[in-house]
Amino acid sequence: MNGRWLLIWAMTVGFGVLLLWQVSEAVGGSAPLDETHPALAAADPMPGGQVVLRLASAEAGHNIVLVRIEDAHGSPMPGVTKVTVFPEMLGHDMGTVTAAFETTRTGPGEFRADTNALEMFGTWVLRVAQYGDFGERINTFTLQLAPTRQQIVLFAGAPLTVLAAAIVALVIVSRRYGAPPPEIPVEVAPQL
C-alpha cells in the first residue's frame, strides 16, 4: 500500500470517528435542570409589585418555568389563583409557535411549570397571564434562549464534517481519475 492510500484510509477513519462523536453528542442527554439556581431571570413591574419570571435553563428545549408575583416589599402576593404562559417566537412569522401552558401553584404567589414548549433557540416573548380576585393581568417578558449542545452539533458540526469529507473525496477522485495535466509546448530555439 502506497502512502497516498494510507493517507486516504487515515482521513476516512478520522472523519468517521469525528462524525460518530458528533452524532453521539447530538443524541446524548442534556444536563439536569436546577430550579434552585435559575439560569435566566427577569422582572416586570405591575401595580403594587412585580412579576418575576425564572427559567432553570438558558437553552432551548425542556425547561422549568418559575413565576413569582411579589408585592412592593418583595413578599409573595396572595390572591393570584392561576397563571398561564403564552409563548411566542419572534422573527419567524409563525405567530404562536406552541400552545399556552398552565402552571401549578406551589405557594402563595408562586407558580411552576415543567415544559417542552420552548424548543427552538432564539428570541421568545412570554406573556404571563395572572388570574385572581382582581380579574386578569398580563405581563410580557422577552428572553433570548441559546441553542442546546445537541442543536449546535446537528445544525453545524455534523453537516460541516460531512461537507469537509466530501470535498476531500472530490479532490482525491479528481486527482486520481481526472484529466491529465495539459502538456506545455516547449519551443526549441532555432539552430544558427
- The pLDDT averaged over each successive group of 10 residues in the chain (192 residues) is 66 72 61 64 88 87 89 88 89 65 92 87 89 90 81 65 70 63 68 70
Q: Do 46 and 112 lie in a common domain?
A: yes
| CB 52 within 8 Å of CB 65 | no
Do 104 and 62 lie in one domain? The reply is yes
Residue 113 in any domain: the answer is yes
In the chain, the amino acid numbered 162 is V
**Boundaries of domain holding 155:** 3-27+149-171
Task: Give the residue from 77, 61, 57, 58 showing the smallest Cα distance to 69.
Answer: 77
Q: What pLDDT, on the 0 to 100 scale, is given for residue 29?
A: 56
Q: Considering the domain boundaries, does residue 187 fall inside one?
A: no
* 54 and 89 belong to one structural domain: yes
- Give a yes or no: residue 35 inside a domain: no
Task: Determine the pLDDT at residue 106.
Answer: 93
Query: What CA–CA distance (Å, rounded) separates 91 from 32?
Result: 29
Q: Give start and end residues of each alpha helix (H) in 39-157.
A: 149-152
d(CA 11, CA 54): 47
CA distance 114 to 153: 25
Do 48 and 107 lie in one domain? The reply is: yes
> In total, how many domains does the chain have?
2
pLDDT given at position 140: 93
- 52 lies in some domain: yes
